[in-house]
Structure 1
Amino acid sequence: MRSLLKVLIFLSPLILRGSVLRQTIEVSPEELTFQKAKGYDVISLPGCDYVYEAGHPHLPIKSVYILLPSNAKLVDFRVTDVSVEKIDGRFNIYPAQHQIPLLKGLSRDFTPPDEAIYSSDKPYPASPLEFAQTGNLGGYRVAAFKFYPLYYVPKRGELYLRRRIEFEVRYEKSLKSETIKRSAVAEKTYRELLSRFVLNPEDIDRFSPKTREEGQFDYLIITDEAYQEAFEPLIAWKTRKGFVGAIRTVSWIDSHYSGYDLAEKIRNYLKIAHADSGVTWVLIGGDTDIVPARNAYVYAEGYTDYAPSDLYYSDLDGSWDADGDHVYGEVADSLD
């Protein structure tokens, strides 16, 4: 039989400055699935990633997002209430394994449980909620957190579900407010996207950035001169659907914008087009021999590689090269 516990957690006194958002996360035990692997228990929960530190208990992690005012910064947060339910049985949770690049055909030996953790009678992970980062989505400010719906007491083989947590997020309006050029169609798309993943979609109206519609186009095709005519019917169709579209050739961007290389010139143009014209959708009209991909730095568990990425043209915050060494996407480059 499951037993229900209620725990009050006060991480720190809340300083009553700024504004506070109160949120709740709930998880049903019926969502859990249980499997066996190498004699260990593997617990799954829909919509979750997993603890990836090798040798640590392989438990679900759920990313949760809170919408803040567009000109706000997160100051702190605290968990105020947790309802916990013990899961029947004795568990030996599968240890997380090292990450390896599968395309290289590499393999590693099985990583056993971390003895310091698995011999402990302390809950793992101890905290139900961790702050990850704040980011920007089309002028909307979003704070990301990691929620740990389960915790494990290894020495006793006990597993607990955090069925419900309540927490508070404190923020202050301290950033410069900017007016964004954006069409009504684009704004509707941003709002629909946010409503699907933030915990507080009811705040979208009051936390939205200021927008204005004049002088914008929202749908852009980047291609080679040889394909420009072929894309004209698509622009015409988009116009009939309510979009305002345009075509720019790679050669035109190359001759009008600065950058270390062609990829950076295209990205610099997109930053300006997004800010000044409200561009929201970009179609890359050609393979990498026409519109170059950015080879982004990839690191995992001691393995280093470079992966072609068109996300470089989508994530327009920063430069992807904060340290200026022309190795893009490193940890030191502070990607949003």
Structure 2
Amino acid sequence: MKKLVAILLASVLAFTISIANNSNSVATAVHFSDIEIKENTEYVNVIVDDCKYLRNDGYPMLPYYVKTYTFPVGTKIEEIKVEARNVETIKLDKKIAPAPPAVPLNMKIDNYRAKEGEIYSKDVFYPEDWYSYRIGVGIKDGKRVVFLSIHLYPLKYNAVRDEALYAHDINVKVEYELPVKAMFTNDEYDLLIICPEKFVDELQPLKEHKESHGIKTLIETVESITSSYSGRDDAEKVKYAIKDAIEEYGIKYVMLVGGLDSPIKSDTWLVPVRYSHLDDQAEKAYLTDLYFADIYKYEDGEPVFDDWDSNGNGVFAEWSMRGKDVLDLYPDVYVGRLACRNEKEVEIMVNKIIYYEENAAGSEWFRRAILVGGDTFDDTATTNFYEGEVANQVFFDNLPSDFEAVKVWYSEGNMKQSNVVDAISQGGGFLHFSGHGSPGEWLAKSFEGGKSKYILGLDIYHMPLLKNEGMYPVTV
């Protein structure tokens, strides 16, 4: 039987952190535990408790630790000072193992074996510095902030010398300038709904419901936005409209209501979409509404509009051999989409949302988390994990402790469509699928016996079999 990896999400810190603050600086001292070196056949692996590991193809897998600071939006980061202390020189008998290449979603790769890159033949220490950082703008706990994320590298490695430098302590000091006055102080509305004009009447009950619970709601139509805003396309016009709603009204939530304009065959969206051009060798581009949530980026202390086209070539969110865009990726509003195609679908969704928000809390069925997963990728020659089940478990481990796990798993021997339908029909607060899918179906896979086989979990033709009326799960 395949191995199911138990992922530990919480652990006892093996290093200590102390923080000091004053009006324009913050200091952090990080102490790292002793390093552990494990040998395998050809290489060694270095282990530092509570660190993650660099996984750049052909480069050594070295530990790093992330420290993230938040400041009021409009804060200017003046200077970052990092000092490595108590640095120990370590001589190694074998080279530190290189990271293997990333495997594309199509699983087509000529040779998965890790290979030493050019860095192994250079008489330099990697990483060059003890730290790196990035600054972004986003929303946290309902407040807009500046994020400063610092990656600390306690170990530097020189493969030519078979030598490592290990810092037992790293001190960080950040100097910053707070904004002269608070930004984004308007608070006229909470929720912005963007929809085609023909959906406005069907959305009025939702607006009234939200406002009865203290959520001030504004509805704007796609037609009014695209006719009054400038932009390279309709998606950019909608993004500018969201930006204005943030600055003029204090919007924190955005609901996009509109899918494809035809259930048969169409590529026209009732509310515009953006494709992320991340070429992973499986698909050239992916739909992502994160584009409409990530409004700002950080630029010299100011939040400025992020168009997701930093190289200016007209290809949005590009990551390929042709070019790579630098994106902020921190959401500035909470965005969701109801991909409704017609007024009837809007009416159905509005009624379900209202019923859910008035009845789900405290219900016994809500405490069930339905986990559907199995094998996802063919790694039978290496780790041989059930990736779908691992992802299910990570999701469940982040839920409150009083949730019950309902597992429809390949390893449990109950992965089949009828069991998925039965589990959903009993109701659940959350439904987590992890596997393969398309707009019409979700599937797990089996690679037993060296053969690849899809296992149907749920498709659109089985939707009428579901008996969970009034017990709607949040589905991931």
- Name the SS for the 1:327 alignment partner: coil
Alignment: residue pair count: 280
- Name the SS for the 1:133 alignment partner: strand
Equivalent residue in structure 2 for 1:128, among 127, 130, 139: 130
Matched, 1:335 2:308: no
- Name the SS for the 1:103 alignment partner: coil
Matched, 1:95 2:89: no
Deviation, 1:57, is 0.5
Deviations 1:35-63 (A, max 9, x none): 969866375865735241x2210223333
CA–CA separation in structure 1 for the residues paired with 2:40 and 2:195 = 50
Matched, 1:22 2:30: no
Matched, 1:297 2:277: yes
Q: Could you tell me whether the CA contact under 8 Å between 2:59 and 2:116 is conserved in 1?
A: yes
TM-score by length of structure 1 reads 0.65
Q: Which amino acid letter does the alignment assign opposite residue 79 of structure 2? A: D
Q: Residues 33 and 68 from structure 1, CA distance in 2 versus in 1: closer, same or farther, beyond 3 angstroms?
A: farther
Matched, 1:50 2:38: no
- Name the SS for the 1:312 alignment partner: helix
Structure 2 counterparts to residues 299-318 of structure 1, below 5 A: 305-317=284-296, 318=305
Q: Residues 75 and 316 from structure 1, CA distance in 2 versus in 1: closer, same or farther, beyond 3 angstroms?
A: same
Matched, 1:274 2:246: yes
CA–CA separation in structure 1 for the residues paired with 2:204 and 2:33 = 51
Specify the alignment match of 2:146 in structure 1.
Answer: 141
Deviation, 1:229, is 4.5
TM-score by length of structure 2 reads 0.48
Q: Which amino acid letter does the alignment assign opposite residue 227 of structure 2? A: S
Q: Residues 242 and 47 from structure 1, CA distance in 2 versus in 1: closer, same or farther, beyond 3 angstroms?
A: farther
Deviations 1:268-317 (A, max 9, x none): 111111111111111222335332321233367x9993332211101112
Equivalent residue in structure 2 for 1:167, among 154, 164, 172: 172
Deviation, 1:104, is 4.0
Q: Could you tell me whether the CA contact under 8 Å between 1:51 and 1:61 is conserved in 2?
A: no
Specify the alignment match of 2:115 in structure 1.
Answer: 112
Structure 2 counterparts to residues 190-205 of structure 1, below 5 A: none
Specify the alignment match of 2:183 in structure 1.
Answer: 179
Q: How big is the alpha-carbon RMSD for the aligned residues of Structure 1 and Structure 2?
A: 4.1
Q: Which amino acid letter does the alignment assign opposite residue 76 of structure 1? A: E
Deviations 1:79-133 (A, max 9, x none): 2353568999966432123345x2344314234223653786x654353222x33
Q: Which amino acid letter does the alignment assign opposite residue 242 of structure 1? A: G
Matched, 1:246 2:246: no
Deviation, 1:21, is 2.4
Matched, 1:257 2:236: no
Q: Residues 284 and 24 from structure 1, CA distance in 2 versus in 1: closer, same or farther, beyond 3 angstroms?
A: farther
Q: Could you tell me whether the CA contact under 8 Å between 1:238 and 1:244 is conserved in 2?
A: yes
Q: Could you tell me whether the CA contact under 8 Å between 1:150 and 1:160 is conserved in 2?
A: yes
Q: Could you tell me whether the CA contact under 8 Å between 1:91 and 1:158 is conserved in 2?
A: no
Structure 2 counterparts to residues 228-239 of structure 1, below 5 A: 228-239=200-211
